[in-house]
Amino acid sequence: MASIWIAIPTFRRPDQLRHLLETLPGVVDRHDVMVLVADNDPVRQEGSAVVRALLADGYGLPMTLLTVAQPGLCAVRNAIADAALEDPAMRFLAMIDDDEWPQPGWLDALLICQAQVGADVVAGPVDSCFVGTAPRWARETLVFRAEQRPWGATGMLWASNNLLVTRRAFEMIARPFFDARFNRSGGEDLDFLTRLHEAGARFGWSPDARVSEWVPVERARLSWVLKRMWRIGCTETLARQKALPGWTGTARLLVRSIAILGLRTAGLATLLLPGARRVDIAGQWVKSWGRLYALAGRGRSRRGAGHYGAL
């Protein structure tokens, strides 16, 4: 039994997963931790092979392996939550993705913020680590910049790739914690956090709880960044649409989305200004179109279930 579970969903990223797992023992110096790796690929099981090899070599932390046959991040995240909650000693579930690794002090910083703020959920920044030489615009664009907030209680959180969730938080909302309707579109973590926020959960932010994330060469391209902004517009809208059901809610979102598109379209003129962050300006415009695409009922077919590793 462990009071802190570190959860890692994985799908066909054996090298990145190995790096993460090899980093953890040097960063997490505690005796109340359990590492849970959930392999969402029952066919190739590359993540499972990494876990078994490390355990055979005498891995430095308690670690358990979970194979999730049902494809998609919703399925694997729900399986993780269920497995952790089965341990009556579990008080905290720390979530980190398989293409990331924690920086020194990561877990302690999350726990300190949780204790001092009394937060139900605590998040921290994600620093991009580019593979190879990336263009300057990629290093500066919003998609790859770590979020900055002051330490302490904070407003809405947006993602689960560096997150500490208390047992109490899971008890505040109904199962399934991650809605399968987002399996194909993404945004299951935003929906999860939105429901917690509506249930009165208290959020915290710890700037010292940092993780690093690999950015492969194919992501440091303008086409990928604009597609990412499009997807963000879709998933944010799908999550809001769920919170505002019916024709009234859709009408409100449509008016808001059209207004934002108008503002972003007018803002395209700033592309001509010296020093303008052109990729961010264009990205926000594309994101606005992604909102309308989702409202047209097309946003849930953006990608195949199970292939979340491509995002």
**pLDDT tens over the chain, length 311 residues:** 799 999 999 999 999 999 999 999 999 989 999 999 999 999 999 999 999 999 999 999 999 999 999 999 999 999 999 999 999 999 999 999 999 999 999 999 999 999 999 999 999 999 999 998 999 999 999 999 999 999 999 999 999 999 999 999 999 999 999 999 888 778 899 999 999 999 999 999 999 999 999 999 999 999 999 999 999 999 999 988 888 889 899 999 999 999 999 999 999 999 999 989 999 999 999 999 999 999 998 766 544 333 344 33
Identity at 93, one-letter amino acid code: L
Instruction: Phi first, then psi: give them for residue 153, nearest 5 degrees.
Output: -60, 140
Domain ranges of the chain: 4-219, 222-310
C-alpha dist (Å) from residue 60 to 22, 54, 205: 9, 9, 28
Give the count of beta carbons closer than 10 Å to the beta carbon of residue 239: 24
For residues 122 and 131, give the distance between their C-alpha atoms in angstroms, rounded to a whole number.
28
Q: Say whether pTM exceeds 0.75.
A: yes
Asked if 113 contacts 205 with a C-beta cutoff of 8 angstroms, the reply is yes
4-219: CATH topology: Spore Coat Polysaccharide Biosynthesis Protein SpsA; Chain A (3.90.550)
The length of the chain in residues reads 311
Structure confidence at residue 243 (pLDDT):
83
For residues 71 and 80, give the distance between their C-alpha atoms in angstroms, rounded to a whole number.
13
C-alpha dist (Å) from residue 52 to 4, 26, 295: 21, 19, 44
**Residue showing tokens 């990561």:** 106
Give tens-digit pLDDT for 108-132.
Answer: 999 999 999 999 999 999 999 999 8
- Rg (the chain; Cα; Å): 20
Taking all residues of the chain, what is their mean pLDDT, rounded to a whole number? 93
For residues 225 and 204, give the distance between their C-alpha atoms in angstroms, rounded to a whole number.
28
Could you please report the per-residue DSSP string of 250-265? HHHHHHHHHHHHHHHH
**Sheet with strand 100-102: strands edge to edge:** 100-102, 211-215, 126-130
DSSP 8-class letter at 188: H
Asked if 245 contacts 302 with a C-beta cutoff of 8 angstroms, the reply is no
Asked if 143 contacts 159 with a C-beta cutoff of 8 angstroms, the reply is no
Structure confidence at residue 309 (pLDDT):
41
Asked if 90 contacts 3 with a C-beta cutoff of 8 angstroms, the reply is yes
Could you please report the per-residue DSSP string of 284-298? HHHHHHHHHHHHTT-
For residues 36 and 161, give the distance between their C-alpha atoms in angstroms, rounded to a whole number.
15
Structure confidence at residue 305 (pLDDT):
38
C-alpha dist (Å) from residue 29 to 33, 87, 106, 134: 9, 21, 11, 34
